[in-house]
Amino acid sequence: MLPSTSKYEYVANDPQKCTGCQLCEYVCSYTKNNAFNSLRSRIRTVRVDEILITSLSCRTCENAPCVIACPRDALTQDPETGIIRVDDSRCDGCAWCIEACDFGAISINPSTKLAEICDLCENEEDGPQCVKWCPKEALELTTPDKRGQKKRRKLAVQEVIGAGS
Amino acid sequence: MRSATIGKAGENQVLLANVTNDGRQAGRTGHGAVWGSKKLKALSVRGTHDHTVANPEELLKLCYDIVQAAQGPHTEKYRVLGTVSNVLNMNRMGLLPTRNYQQGTFEGAELVSGEYLHEHHKVKTIACAQCPIACEQMSRAIDGPYAGVMSGIEYESLYAVSSNCGVSDMNAAIKAIDICDEDGMDTMSTGVTIGWAMETFERGVFTKEDFKCAKYPEGFEPNFGSGEALVTLAEMIRDREGIGDLLAQGTKKASAQVDAERGSETYKWAMNIKGLECPGYDARALKTFALGLAVGARGACHNRSAAYDPDIKGQVDRFTVDETRGELAKDTEAYAAVYDTLPLCKFIRRCFTGKADRAGAWPAIAQLINATTGWDYDYDDVDLIGTHAHTIKKAFNIREGWTRADDHLPYRWQHEPMKEGPSAGSTVTDEELEYMKDLYYEAQGWTKEGLIPKEKLIALGMDDVAEEIGV
């Protein structure tokens, strides 16, 4: 089966709102490692140019290529949430998962040399900490379907009531 | 990987050159030229180690509240229009430097205002690293020869290249700022130096002949208001082409050279203090700020002295002087030094408790320092950061031989009363300036000559500094 990003929730970024402040990276790094290190963040901001700024983290693909690519079966996917879990005892940091990921959403932790993937802060009561901290509400936990719905509603409001309302 | 770089201007050792990192500039005083002279093009850093703090949970809790407060009314000015909202505010008060500080109001102010920029040119607001406010207004030139050029526009850049050069075309202003930002020049000093060149031309000391260049082999006429002259001169300064070689020295050295060669008196409109070009406030009608700038350790810098605050807020009468000004100038200077030393951006200053003064900010800053380091800082310790920082800057100047006479104002601010607008008639007389300097040195505990006595340095625990400057 082909991989698909349509099913599960993930942390989406609205590039219109993202200012490139990187607070998400620092909060992620602290939440996961008790240390501030943007290279150990599981969400990464990307500054393509002065104004094209966004962030990327795990897109929770169905039939995730990273899981398929792992030669040591270190990666497994939660069928309910789509979250990819890394078994540290099996991962040897070969980075095949990084190569398989179409979104560049996986990285190797520079200290442990093992793969790290966003788990949507499944153990945090108030959900993904990057979403909680994003000062411009550019980040949200959502699905492609919900995003589509939101866009349709926005467009409908504009069509009916007039742009800018 | 992050890099701090110089551009063409630094490579050419233009004295207005700066150092850029992540699209923001360490802009003033020409250290880009120092890098250029050492053939140092860039410093690049890639850090992989973790940063740990003493009390992360406490720090995150404090920071979360600040991040939230930074989305509220305390930062609205910066978030919505950005610093460029100052254009119309300064114009209303008759303080907007216009045509090289000949006027305090600009008839084209609306066209170069923050409001106009927001409506016609703004593309996106972006943030410096880790900043929850995001104030930089990325803006694009929309028509004319510079259409498509984009740069981040700040008030201090904008006044310098627009009203101060009589230019009311926002597209040309964006282009001039873009040249400075891309090629590593201080927008403020560049704009003020071009303003000086325009006035020098209009007063007949420079002629069209002086402005020959590859683009205009017969020369051109740099009148106030010409966006094309503004842009061309910025490029010539960057490249040290033609008269750009003279202007690349800034107003102090350029005017001295011209006056020596031509017997002119262009120093009378060279708008600098200690060689650093003036910021976007006409300090003739901001008396406390005039003092703050005159005594400024690095010259006319609005970031190191916040003494415009009591003047503009109406805490004191901005048109007159009184015995409170020495203390006020001292206080705002040490206040700014606390933020600059930590460093914290001053735009966050009201987000701790809603009040920007020491009582509002210092206890909160002490909490941040303690959570980060595990130290036990209190109000007085935070306050001392500013005193130490400022004292060592002053000591540096003393070591380099600067005296009371170097705490000066531009000739124009002392000898030409403002001609028009809400601040008409304002000037800072010698008597006023010297009176305020006395008050300031006294408030600092310095001598009448503006020197730091040994006891003062020892009381601050700066014995090594006392030895270094030989007191």
**CA-CA distances (angstroms) from residue B172 to A88, B86, B143, B302?**
57, 19, 10, 25
Chain A partners of B56 at a C-beta cutoff of 8 Å?
Answer: 30, 34
Question: Residue A1 contacts by C-beta under 8 Å, 6 or more apart in sequence?
Answer: A62, A63
Does B129 lie at the interface with A, CB-CB under 8 angstroms? yes
Best A17, A18, A19, A48 member to test B by mutation, with max B CBs in 10 Å, is A19
Cβ distance of A35 and B51 shorter than 8 Å? yes
Q: Which among A16, A23, A37 has the least Cβ separation from residue B51? A: A37
Residues of chain B with CATH 1.10.599.10: 283-469
> Cα–Cα distance between B15 and A118 in angstroms, integer?
48
Q: What is the mean pLDDT of residues A142-154?
A: 91
Per-window interface: B 5-64 vs A, CB < 8 A: 23, 47-53, 56, 60, 64
B453: amino acid identity, one letter? P
**CA of B399 to nearest chain A CA: how many angstroms apart?**
40
Shortest CA gap A106–chain B (Å)? 16
Interhelix angle B170-183/B227-239, rounded to 10 degrees, is: 10
C-alpha A10/C-alpha A56 separation (Å) is: 10
Structure tokens at B363: 């206890």
DSSP state of B290: H
pLDDT score recorded for residue A163: 57
How near does any CA of chain A get to the CA of B94, in Å? 34
pLDDT 10s digits, A72-98: 999 999 999 999 999 999 999 999 999
Please report, in tens digits, the pLDDT of each residue of chain B (471 residues total).
889 999 999 999 999 999 999 889 999 999 999 999 999 999 999 888 889 999 999 999 999 999 999 999 999 999 999 999 999 999 999 999 999 999 999 999 999 999 999 999 999 999 998 999 999 999 999 999 999 999 999 999 999 999 999 999 999 999 999 999 999 999 999 999 999 999 999 999 999 999 999 999 999 999 999 999 999 999 999 999 999 999 999 999 999 999 999 999 999 999 999 999 999 999 999 999 999 999 999 999 999 998 999 999 999 999 999 999 999 999 999 999 999 999 999 999 999 999 989 999 999 999 999 999 999 999 999 999 999 999 999 999 999 999 999 999 999 999 999 999 999 999 999 999 999 999 999 999 999 999 999 999 999 999 999 999 988
* Domain span(s) for CATH 1.10.569.10 in chain B: 78-273
pLDDT in tens, A45-55: 999 998 999 99
Q: Provide the token pair at A70.
A: 């792992």
By the 10 Å C-beta count (0-12 exposed, 13-18 middle, 19+ buried), B86 is classed as: buried
Mean pLDDT taken over chain B: 96
CA distance linking residue B223 with residue B57, whole number of Å:
59
Structure tokens at A121: 């802060």
Burial class (CB in 10 A: 0-12, 13-18, 19+), B4: middle
| A133–B contact, CB cutoff 8 A | yes
Q: How far is B3 from chain A (nearest CA, A)?
A: 14
A52 touches B: beta carbon within 8 Å = no
Q: Assess whether pLDDT exceeds 60 at residue A165.
A: no
**What is the residue whose two structure tokens read 């802009």?**
B27
B3: number of Cβ within 10 Å: 13
A44-47 vs A53-56, strand pairing mode: antiparallel
For the beta carbon of residue B232, count every other beta carbon within 10 angstroms. Answer: 23
Query: Contact B126/A35, CB-based, under 8 Å?
Result: no
Give me the architecture of the B283-469 domain, per CATH. Answer: Orthogonal Bundle (1.10)
- Find how far residue B151's CA is from the centre of its chain: 18
Of A13, A18, A49, A137, nearest in space to B127 by CA: A18
Q: Inter-chain contact B70–A135, Cβ cutoff 8 Å?
A: yes
3 state SS of B45: strand
Cα–Cα distances in angstroms (integers) from residue A104 to residues A97, A98, B320, in the given order? 10, 7, 62
Instruction: Name the class of domain B78-273.
Output: mainly alpha
Nearest residue in B to A27, CA atom: B60
How distant is the Cα of B358 from the closest Cα of chain A, in angstroms? Answer: 26
Across the interface, do B70 and A39 touch by the CB < 8 Å criterion?
no
Distance CA B176, CA B407 (A): 31
What one-character DSSP code corresponds to residue B448?
A: T
The pair of three-digit structure tokens given for residue B291, joined into one six-digit string: 């003092």
